[in-house]
Amino acid sequence: MRFPENFLWGGAFAANQTEGAFDADGKGLSTADIFPKADRKTGGMFYRTYDQILEAVSDPDSMKYPKRRGIDFYHHYREDIAMFAEMGFKALRFSFSWPRIFPMGDEETPNRKGLDYYRNVISELKKYNITPIITLSHFEMPLNLSLKYNGWADRRLIEYFLRYAETVIDEFHDDIRYWITFNEIDATLHIPLMGAGLIEEKTEDIEKTKYQAIHHQFVASSLLTKYVHEHYPDLMIGCMSTKNLKYPATCRPEDCMQWLYETEADSACTDVQVFGEYPYVWKTMWRKKGITPEITEEDAAVLKNNTVDFVSFSYYASLVTSADGSKKEKTSANLLVGEKNPYLRQTPWGWQIDPVGLRFSLNQMYDRYKLPVFVAENGLGTIDVFENGTVNDDYRIDYLREHIREMGKAVEDGVPVFGYTYWGCIDCISASTSEMSKRYGFIYVDQNDDGSGTLKRYPKASFRWYQKVIASNGEDLD
C-alpha cells in the first residue's frame, strides 16, 4: 500500500473553533460567536431565535459563548504550528475568519490587522514547509450580514464575499496554492443559520429561501473560480461537501430505490460545482414542492463555465436508508440523522464508525467526478482522560489506522487521493455543541467546558503514532 510521494498528510480545524480573540484587533462578531454550550443529548445546537441573537450581541461574555474564546490559537499559533511540524505535517487545512478581515462584511476596505495576522500564520507554516490549504467560509460569516441582509438570502452577499475572497487571494497567492470556497456547503440546507446566516423569523419561507441562499453561494463560488483561473492559473480551487454516505437497508427494490434517490440528492451540491448545472433530482424536488429559485441566464452560464479543480469532503460516519425508514431506529452522522447500522460501532455521540465507508466514498467520488480528491475532514470525537501529562488514546489510533488503511486501498483502486487532513488535529471547541469535552486532537488542550484551565498543550499517544505514519508515508500503521 503506497501513497503518492507528495501526499499531503496533515490536520484541519476552523478559525471559529480555535482562534478565540473574538474582539481583538478590529475583528467583528461572526455567526459562530452567538452559540452557547449545548447539551450533547440534544445532538447539538445550530438554531438561535432572533431575540437570542440580539441577546448574544449585547453580551460580551466569552465564557457563555465558547467559540469566542476557542483555544486561543490567535496567541498560541507559533507553539501549535511547531507541534504540527514535530508530527511531520505536510499540510494544514484551516479557515480565514471573514469578519477578522471584513468585520462587518460589507465594508469597502479590509482590516489590515486581520490580514497581518494571517500573514504571520502563513509565514510560520512556511518556516516548517507546511502547505496551507485555506477554506474561505467555514461557518463564520460576519454576523452583521446576517442581521442586516438575512445572510445569503440576499444576492448582495455575492459581491461582499467576492470582495473578501479576492482580497485574501490577491494578498496570499504567492504562498497558498490550494483554496476551498465553502466548507460543507450543503450545511445551508440542514443548518441554515450556521451555513448561510439565515434567521428563520426574518424568512417568509425557510425551505424556499435555503435553496435561493445556496444558489447565491454556488454563483459566488463559481465567480471566484473564474477570478482565480483568470488571474492566478497555477492555483487550485476546490469545493467541499459533507459525504453523506448511505447504504440501502436491504436488497428490496423499494429500499434500493430510496437509496438511489437520496444518494443522488446528497451529491447535488458537488454536482453543481463540478458539472456546472443543477441535477435532475433537485429540479424534480423543486417542482413537487413549488420551489422556484431565481436563477438568471447569466447565473447558469457562470456555473457552467467555471467549475472547480478538485473535490474534497468530510467523512465521519455512514447511515442506512430504507423506504419505510420512519419505523427504524435512528442515529446521527454529522449533519444528518438516519437509520442505524447493526454492523457498526458508535461513538459516545452516536456516530457510527465505518472505515470501509471511507474507501467506498473515495471510489464513489472519483467515479462520479473524475477529479483529484482530497479528504478534508475525518476524525474521532470522543471523551479523553488526561492522566500523568498525556492521554492514552489507543481508541483514536485504532480509528485512524483502519481509516488510513481503507484510504490506502482506495489509492490502490486507482483513486487520485492527494491529501488527508485529520479533523481537529488539536483539541478545539465542538462545532455542534460548543463544548471542549468532545475531543478529536492529537494534542490535548487544558481547557474545560466552562472555559477554566491553563490552555497548556500536551501530546497524546496518537501524536507519536501519527508522526510515525507521516514519516513512513502511510506504510507503518502498527
pLDDT, tens only, 209-264: 999 999 999 999 999 999 999 999 999 999 999 999 999 999 999 999 999 999 99
Q: How many domains does the chain have?
A: 1
Which range has the worst mean pLDDT, 152-156, 347-351, 369-373, 443-447? 347-351
Residue ranges making up the domain that contains 407? 8-471
Contact 75, 21 (CB under 8 A): yes
107 in active site: no
Give per-residue pLDDT as tens, 351-387: 899 999 999 999 999 999 999 999 999 999 999 999 9
CA Rg value for the chain: 21
pLDDT of residue 160 exceeding 90, the answer is: yes
Q: Is residue 477 part of a domain?
A: no
Of 19, 171, 339, 377, the catalytic one is 377
Residue 421 lies in a domain: yes
In a domain, 167, yes or no: yes
Active site residue: 184, 262, 339, 406, which one? 184
Give domain status of residue 239, yes or no. Answer: yes
pLDDT for 325: 75
Nine cell digits for residue 229: 483561473
What percent of the chain clears pLDDT 70, i.e. is strictly above it?
A: 99
Domain-located, residue 476 = no
Evaluate whether 283 touches 293 at the Cβ level (below 8 Å): no
Tell me, what's the pLDDT at 46?
83
Is there a domain that residue 225 lies in? yes
Asked whether residue 459 is assigned to any structural domain, the reply reads yes
- As a whole number of angstroms, the distance between CA 197 and CA 353 comes to 31
Residue 464 inside a domain? The answer is: yes
Residue 305 has a pLDDT of 98
CATH of the domain at 193: 3.20.20.80
The rounded distance, in Å, linking the Cα atoms of 228 and 173 is 9
Cα 93 to Cα 81: distance, rounded to the nearest angstrom = 12
pLDDT for the residue numbered 348: 83
pLDDT digits (tens, 9 = 90+) for 391-419: 999 999 999 999 999 999 999 999 999 99
- Asked if 475 is an active-site residue, the reply is no
Q: How far is CA 107 from CA 51, 96, 97, in A?
A: 25, 17, 15
Assess contact for 427 and 436: CB atoms under 8 A: yes
